[in-house]
Structure 1
Amino acid sequence: MSSTRRHHRWAALAAGVTTLALAVAGCGGSSGSAEGGSSSGTGNEKVELTVTTFGTMGFDKLYAQYEAAHPNVTIKASNIDTGDNALTDWKTKQAAGSGLPDVQAVEEGWLGQVMKVSSSFTDLREHGADAIKDRWVPWKLAQGTDPEGRIIGYGTDIGPEGLCYNRTLFKQAGLPTDRDEVATLFGGDQASWAKYFEVGKQYHDKTGKAFYDQSGFVWNAMVNQQPVGYYTPDDKLNIEGNATLRGLWDQLGTAASQGLSANQSQWDWGKGKAFTDGSFATFVCPGWMLGVVKGQVSSGGGDAKTGWDFADVFPGGAANWGGSFLTVPKTSKHPAEAAALADWMTQPAQQAAAFAAAGVFPSGVQAQSDPGVTGTNELSTFFNDAPLGTILAKRAQGVVAQHKGPQDSVIQSQVFGPAIKEIDKGVPAAQAWDDAIKLLNQVVNS
């Protein structure tokens, strides 16, 4: 998750964990796993656990709860601002063989690189992982399992995508504003990118304004929807000569040439002003992006009255963008305690609390139906009382985990990133595609 499938340059989120969510999270604060996982350590030995995360994962309030329930454990948490920077940090320390934390958050887009060195991570089966395998949706568990069957990551969130739209701007354009009607407008279960761009052109013709912020996030969603993305399952590149990807690229280029893209810089929306001044009317939203939208609107001086809503529809069908795992590098001096913390952080109550804090939709089956996810919280109130958890659960249906190759995130950011900027600036799609292929051969194939 982004130019790297979850490249987070997050604005500060105003939404905090609700009182209810905190109470729910507190239910998990027992010694060891509530589901038969690893213990939290032995005796009263004082243990300091280091944790490295990125973006906003909704964990901040949970650390203190764990420490309160485990007096022998102190957590030293560090958070890196973006997914790109977090990947660089991990790769640097991984190569050096030192400096890694006890618990390392890993992003879905890194999996191709992580699995190349999976033996350097603790096999969590040694700390009770086999007893809790049913916690997660099957494809999430599969993603965190290496080719040798070692479970190296406990799933945190997944990123099913719905459509954020601005009711105020839709009304000005004569489009429906009710979220069910908006879903129907885009085709409901048969929603396509062609229909999305068609409505976008109607909006642009009526208002003279752009329909979405920039083409990068749209392209990211298009690629993620494919059964096979940038790599085949055997790690062979799947870009040159790929008629499906090329066709989607041409659609995107045509839409940009029609003025549907606002040509915003990724992760830089003028301190949120673009979300409040009518610069664009729709935004692709995996669950974790909902918190970003709220934070950006707040930074731009807006609030719930600015008009953002969330519809149960997504062009092209089910899509997943992002999602993370908690891993325990083998360099940890406290692997049992680190595994216990990772276990606790991904239990249903804690996943529900993280969702209430940041909109990160749980990968845990039980957590997805937790009242802390399906109920009302500050984030859902901001989105016009949209049933966020219920919508995201529907959007998660049909998601198939796409294989991420070794340079997947590099291709997204360094190959297609520049080409996306080209089409948003008016360069013909065919030329931008050729430029991307040249970069592919320089960056990845060389």
Structure 2
Amino acid sequence: MTVTRRKFLALSAGGAAAATGLTGCGGSRSSLGAADELSMWAWTGSVNDDLIAQAAKGIQGTDKKIALTRVGGDYKTKLLTSLAGKSMVPDIVGLNDDVATYFPNADQFHDLHELGADKFKGDFLEWKWKLGITPENRMMAYPMDTGPTALFYRRDLFEKAGLPTEPADVAAAAPGWNEYIELGKKLKQAIPGSAITDNITSVFQYALAQLPKRYMTPEGEYIGDGDHIRQAWDLAVRVVKEGLSANAQDGSTDANAVVTNGRLVAFVAAVWWAQLGPKNAAPKTKGMWRVTPAPGGPGNRGGSFLAITKYCKDPEAAFAFITWLESAKNQAQSFLDPVLFPSTPASYDDPKMTGPDAFFGGQKIVDVFAESAKKYPGTYFSPYDSTIGDPIKAELVNVEIGAKSSDQAWRDAQRLIDRELTRVGAI
């Protein structure tokens, strides 16, 4: 399944426009906010409230101030709808880790290269910086946080199973996924019912998050049927067949329960899982968890961006704001609340981040995630990653629940992907 670079970009833009009614960037615009305000859209938990409060009083060096709206519900649909209507469009918008899905609409945003972004490039992780740049070298989005991955594990249960307990020793015992599976078998033998992942799709997604390539190339070639994807698929299936998955599907009532009841004794996950997983679902396990480098190497899952829309009333002031908000100092503050892991390596030495975490037995877990973030190889995300990934995840669930064999599910996933990419004009 190949397509030329020119056709890929042209058709993807057409597909996105058809889906949302989005057209060119001309036409009138009804401003959001007062003349001295720059309106900003973001979702709850995406920015530090104290920093926004400062900017609401005035953006340093400008005559503008920030007016933030926290948009609930389907944020992406609401943003695309606003852009499509060219009315009531915010000046500044947050974009999630699916930033590439906005690439076909890049002309709706300012090219940050033209506003002087390149002078800040050295402050950021190189791979993160690249994710906001389209294949045509238009910088559509400015880096916010990241989602480096690591292995979370219950030290007390590892000790009970007679396994290594200190982070360095656990990392040495499970440098790769094969060793991790063997470790999981020993855990299950010593602690019946224990699991090393919540479900099959988690293994696949975190293995994928370690790879230097995903579903498509920047030139528009589909590679989601390649060996690298099939190997991540087979790994996920193997974990299930070994009986090491808790079979707690995303969004189910079991998702938190397996953490609360102690069944999930180890889990490869992104940094944000610390808050959403054990700290939220199992607060009584405080002091029992540890973090160590993930089997298979560093990875990243998650992270967000800021963009300035083409309709912004003062792009220079907006750029001054986003560069201030995402400085190393302020990213370190955003790690404390709302727990956003910085994309600026200088933040990793900030005292706000370097302290021990009591929930993890006093371990300085930031050190583990910082190394993962710095060593992650980076990859290309395409506008079609969700279109491709959704059938893969759905068919993996069919394997886990016993509805299909692995080979049949793989064939069905590829057939669905071919149909959907053809429907949107990508192939």
**Which shows bigger deviation, 228-237 or 198-207?**
198-207
Aligned residue in 2 for 1:39: none
Aligned residue in 1 for 2:286: 304
Cα deviation for residue 68 of structure 1 reads 4.2
Superposition pairs for residues 98-177 of structure 1, below 5 Å?
Answer: 98-111=87-100, 113-177=101-165
Cα deviation for residue 161 of structure 1 reads 1.0
Aligned residue in 1 for 2:11: none
Aligned residue in 1 for 2:378: 401
Superposition pairs for residues 273-292 of structure 1, below 5 Å?
Answer: 273-292=257-276
Take 2:211 and 2:233, find their aligned partners in 1: how far apart are those partners? 13
Return the letter of the residue paired with 2:401. Answer: K
Structure 1 residue 51 corresponds to structure 2 residue 24: no
Cα deviation for residue 217 of structure 1 reads 2.0
What SS does the aligned partner of 2:186 have? helix
Instruction: Report if aligned partners of 2:149, 2:301 keep a CA contact under 8 Å in 1.
Output: yes
Take 1:59 and 1:287, find their aligned partners in 2: how far apart are those partners? 17
Q: For residues 68 and 332 of structure 1, do their structure 2 counterparts lie closer, same or farther at Cα, with a shift above 3 Å needed?
A: closer
What SS does the aligned partner of 1:122 have? coil
Cα deviation for residue 55 of structure 1 reads 6.0
Take 1:339 and 1:215, find their aligned partners in 2: how far apart are those partners? 42
Structure 1 residue 203 corresponds to structure 2 residue 179: no
Instruction: Report if aligned partners of 1:162, 1:392 keep a CA contact under 8 Å in 2.
Output: yes
Structure 1 residue 231 corresponds to structure 2 residue 213: no
Take 1:231 and 1:185, find their aligned partners in 2: how far apart are those partners? 34
Take 2:51 and 2:399, find their aligned partners in 1: how far apart are those partners? 43
What SS does the aligned partner of 2:46 have? coil
Instruction: Report if aligned partners of 1:361, 1:368 keep a CA contact under 8 Å in 2.
Output: no
Cα deviation for residue 272 of structure 1 reads 3.4
Aligned residue in 2 for 1:322: 302
Cα deviation for residue 356 of structure 1 reads 1.9
Instruction: Report if aligned partners of 1:200, 1:260 keep a CA contact under 8 Å in 2.
Output: yes
Structure 1 residue 345 corresponds to structure 2 residue 325: yes
Q: For residues 404 and 66 of structure 1, do their structure 2 counterparts lie closer, same or farther at Cα, with a shift above 3 Å needed?
A: same
Aligned residue in 1 for 2:29: none
TM-score of the pair, normalised by structure 2: 0.82
Return the letter of the residue paired with 1:124. Answer: L
Q: For residues 287 and 80 of structure 1, do their structure 2 counterparts lie closer, same or farther at Cα, with a shift above 3 Å needed?
A: farther
Structure 1 residue 251 corresponds to structure 2 residue 235: yes
Aligned residue in 1 for 2:68: 76
What SS does the aligned partner of 1:182 have? helix
Take 1:259 and 1:55, find their aligned partners in 2: how far apart are those partners? 37
Structure 1 residue 331 corresponds to structure 2 residue 311: yes
Take 1:437 and 1:279, find their aligned partners in 2: how far apart are those partners? 33
Return the letter of the residue paired with 2:272. Answer: W
Aligned residue in 1 for 2:368: 391
Take 2:263 and 2:253, find their aligned partners in 1: how far apart are those partners? 10
Return the letter of the residue paired with 2:53. Answer: A
**Which shows bigger deviation, 403-412 or 87-96?**
87-96
Larger Rg: 1 or 2? 2
Take 1:197 and 1:89, find their aligned partners in 2: how far apart are those partners? 42
Take 2:277 and 2:89, find their aligned partners in 1: how far apart are those partners? 32
Q: For residues 335 and 320 of structure 1, do their structure 2 counterparts lie closer, same or farther at Cα, with a shift above 3 Å needed?
A: same
Unaligned 5+ residue runs, structure 1?
A: 1-44
What SS does the aligned partner of 1:272 have? helix
Cα deviation for residue 294 of structure 1 reads 4.6
Among the aligned pairs, what percent are the same residue? 28
Take 2:71 and 2:360, find their aligned partners in 1: how far apart are those partners? 27
**CA deviation profile, 1:114-160 (whole Å, cap 9, x unmatched):** 22221211122444423322221222222223344433222111222
Return the letter of the residue paired with 2:189. Answer: D
Answer 1 or 2: higher relative contact order, Cα 8 Å, separation at least 6: 1
Cα deviation for residue 392 of structure 1 reads 1.3
Cα deviation for residue 395 of structure 1 reads 1.3
Take 2:345 and 2:419, find their aligned partners in 1: how far apart are those partners? 42
Cα deviation for residue 343 of structure 1 reads 1.5
Aligned residue in 1 for 2:6: none
Cα deviation for residue 109 of structure 1 reads 2.8
Unaligned 5+ residue runs, structure 2?
A: 1-33
What SS does the aligned partner of 1:108 have? coil
Instruction: Report if aligned partners of 2:206, 2:269 keep a CA contact under 8 Å in 1.
Output: no
Aligned residue in 2 for 1:440: 417
Structure 1 residue 361 corresponds to structure 2 residue 361: no
What SS does the aligned partner of 1:342 have? helix
**Where do 4+ consecutive residues of structure 1 move more than 6 Å?**
none
Take 1:344 and 1:324, find their aligned partners in 2: how far apart are those partners? 16
Instruction: Report if aligned partners of 1:160, 1:320 keep a CA contact under 8 Å in 2.
Output: yes
Cα deviation for residue 61 of structure 1 reads 3.0
Return the letter of the residue paired with 1:76. Answer: L
Take 2:336 and 2:179, find their aligned partners in 1: how far apart are those partners? 32
Return the letter of the residue paired with 1:207. Answer: I
Cα deviation for residue 348 of structure 1 reads 1.1
**CA deviation profile, 1:66-100 (whole Å, cap 9, x unmatched):** 2245596242231446xxx3333333333333444
Cα deviation for residue 295 of structure 1 reads 4.5
What's the RMSD between the two structures over aligned residues?
A: 2.5
What SS does the aligned partner of 2:42 have? strand
Return the letter of the residue paired with 1:106. Answer: L
Alignment match of 2:358 (pick from 376, 381, 396): 381
Cα deviation for residue 250 of structure 1 reads 1.8
Q: How many residues align?
A: 385
